[in-house]
Each structure stands twice: as structure tokens, then as C-alpha cells.
Structure 1
């Protein structure tokens, strides 16, 4: 394939944008992408902050982290470590619900619009 053929792959020979390129430039797509990014960055930031608190407590508050819970060998540090797994699961479930309600319907509408133009 020549360089000329590759450069014209994204649009028709007259230089008009493809339906995919039109959709990508549309305000609806940009709003959808921005909504998705806000959610992802927020949840990622919250999880990283929560993880950082866990690591900092382990390093700078060993007395607290080593505190035994109720006369067992179960410590605050172990509980916080297990809660890291729980929070990961909660974030995954929350994202699935968020996407189902806020992302998927708009993405489906955009997909139908593009497929109607093909």
C-alpha cells in the first residue's frame, strides 16, 4: 500500500470526512467523552488517594496499623488491606451502573447515527 492510499483511508477521495470522523467531531461525542473522563479521573483519584493513605499509615503509623482487633491476630493494617480489595470491587460495580445509565444510551445513539450514514 502506498503512502497516498494510506493517507486517503480516513476519508473519501474528495476529502469529505467519513461518518466516523463526523461523529468524533460532534458535540454529542465530545460531551460523552468528557462525561466518561470526569468519572474515570474522579474514581481513579479517589482510589489512589485511598491507597496512598493505606501506604502512608503503614509507613508512618505502625502502632495504629499493628493494633489488634478484639484480642485476635486480625490487625487494623490487615483490615485496611482487605478493604482495598472491597473498594476495587465497589468501584467496578459503580462504574458498571454509571456506564449503563449515563454512557451506554448515548453511545448506542451515536452508533446508530453512524451506522445510518454508512
Structure 2
């Protein structure tokens, strides 16, 4: 296929980048004064007479038939090998004793703490439904038992968040970071 030469527009001329390929085939289409039809049908401004596409000395041929891609070769199999190796590295890390210790430590904190907090919340709701007289008991001034337990729900949420962060920082983060660095070294 011949090389297309383009020139930049002169002073006072406008060059539309998206219309440039349509202008290259202007010799193949019938021209109308002032406008020419683009490849998709809408009219595009005609090129100024100073900017003309270079025409080939060869006659115009029908577009070549696009061949379907060839059968897969050995190259894709090699491309999959590193991904398989990565998978094996992560599976080995997951089966390692260090990873299991980190998971065990996480579960030992999160499951009992979540259960205790859920029990505490359900106790508050059940007490509100089962013993409204007790919940209306005044503690101090306008503060009653229901308000006190409700505010303690917020306090316990902040306390559990702080305990979780402290537990993660002291028991799991250093071990997890070491395991992460080892895994990254294996993947290089």
C-alpha cells in the first residue's frame, strides 16, 4: 500500500484530524462543489486546493481479505506459565504455617469480640422490649437507663475499634509484612 503524504494546513486553513483519513481517499469519491461525502456518509468540508493527497500510480484495488488469526502457538503457553507460577506461590503461602498463624490470631480476636458485641446489642434491644419500666428508670436528672445503655453502645463501638487496631498492630502486622516481603521475593 503506498505511503500517504500529508502537509500541515497553511495560514487561515483548518485541519481536522478526524477528517484526515477521509480526505486521503477523496480522489476515489465523486466531488461536489464545496463539500465531499465522508466514508460514513455525512458531509465533511472539502480540502483546500493547496492540500491534496498523493495519488498512487497503481490502480485502486479491492481491500484485501482479512485472514482469521492463526492457531495458537507455543507463545501463549509460555505467557500462561508465569501466571501459573504466581498461583502456586500464593497457594504455597496460604498453606504455610506462618500464614495460618496470622489467620488463627485474627479469628481468635474477631470471632469472640463480634459475638460479645452482637450479644450486647441484642441485650439492649431485648431489654427495651421486655422491661420498658426498667429502661425508663431515672439514673441522673433526665438521663434514664435506656439513654445510658444507648450511649454505652457508641462507647463500646469506639473501644472495640481501638482494641482491634492495637491487636492487629501488636500481633499480626509485623508477621503479615514479613510474609508479604517473602512472597514478593518469590514472585521476582
User: When the two structures are superposed, what TM-score results if normalisation uses the length of structure 1?
Assistant: 0.83
Residue 101 of structure 1 is matched in structure 2 by 170
Q: Which has the higher helix share?
A: 1
* Change beyond 3 A, Cα 1:62–1:109: same
- Alpha-carbon RMSD across the aligned residues, in angstroms, is 2.1
Instruction: For residues 46-72 of structure 1, give each alpha carbon's deviation from its aligned partner in whole angstroms, at most 9, with x where no partner exists.
Output: 1001111111111111111001123x2
1:65 aligns with 2:138: no
Query: Which shifted more, 101-110 or 30-39?
Result: 30-39
1:42 aligns with 2:112: yes
Task: Measure the CA separation in 2 of the matches of 1:106 and 1:65.
Answer: 46
Residue 159 of structure 2 is matched in structure 1 by 90
1:21 aligns with 2:91: yes
* Change beyond 3 A, Cα 1:73–1:41: same
Larger relative contact order (CA 8 Å, sep ≥ 6): 1
Q: Which has the higher strand share?
A: 2
1:80 aligns with 2:80: no
User: Displacement of 1:105 after TM fit?
Assistant: 0.9
Residue 186 of structure 2 is matched in structure 1 by 117
Match of 1:56 among 112, 120, 126: 126
Task: Measure the CA separation in 2 of the matches of 1:99 and 1:93.
Answer: 10
Instruction: For residues 6-45 of structure 1, give each alpha carbon's deviation from its aligned partner in whole angstroms, at most 9, with x where no partner exists.
Output: x978523xxx853222111111101211210121101100
User: When the two structures are superposed, what TM-score results if normalisation uses the length of structure 2?
Assistant: 0.54
Deviation >3 Å, runs of 4+: 7-10
Task: Specify every segment of 5 or more residues in structure 1 that has no aligned partner in the other structure, as ranges.
Answer: none
